[in-house]
Amino acid sequence: MSLKMLLLIVLTCLVLFALLLVYALSPAIRNVTGKKVLQPFVNTPLSLQRTGYLYKLEQGQYDFYPISLSENVQQAVRKSYALPVGTSLRIKQFKTYKNAVSGFTHLYALGQVTTATGEKVAFQYDWGSIDAWPHPEQGVQLAHAPWQQDDEPLVFWDN
């Protein structure tokens, strides 16, 4: 075997390894808007049932939109806008994001909220992890989203 052939084989193996590494470490994003349990929220006028906060995401975090909706008062330090109960919003789609490093999958609601001044702001809402580890066959009950009333049934996510 010639030196050129050996170098070509080594170079090909390195390129294939690099491509495999990029593929393995890339996050997995899926559009799950069509999932039946999410249909009642898609393209339907909704309103906040609890106070919400819009805040700008820090750099380095993965985001679909630069603005996130949260009920968490602790994130109020970074809030850019407080949304009172009754604020109008609309969910356009749902996506899952699976981090290739940790392997955890989160469900995101992507939508638009109308502020008190009439401004429409695109936001993402992290509805939480949908990993039912260590028993994926059991599924996950998601906590109430800010647009759900406390007496509404919880959304059950089955993998």
Residue 3 lies in a domain: no
Q: Which two tokens stand for residue 50?
A: 């609890």
In the block, residue with structure tokens 């995101």 = 108
Residue 108 lies in a domain: yes
pLDDT on residue 61: 64
Number of separate domains in the chain:
1
Residue 126 lies in a domain: yes
Residue 12 lies in a domain: no
CA distance linking residue 31 with residue 95, whole number of Å: 4
Q: Which domain holds residue 59?
A: 27-157
Average pLDDT value for the chain:
85
Residue 151 lies in a domain: yes
Q: Which two tokens stand for residue 32?
A: 């799950």
Residue ranges in the chain modelled with pLDDT below 70: 60-61, 73-79, 101-103, 132-137, 159
Residue 1 lies in a domain: no
Residue 62 lies in a domain: yes
Residue 136 lies in a domain: yes
pLDDT on residue 156: 85
pLDDT on residue 157: 83
pLDDT on residue 145: 93
pTM (predicted TM-score): 0.80
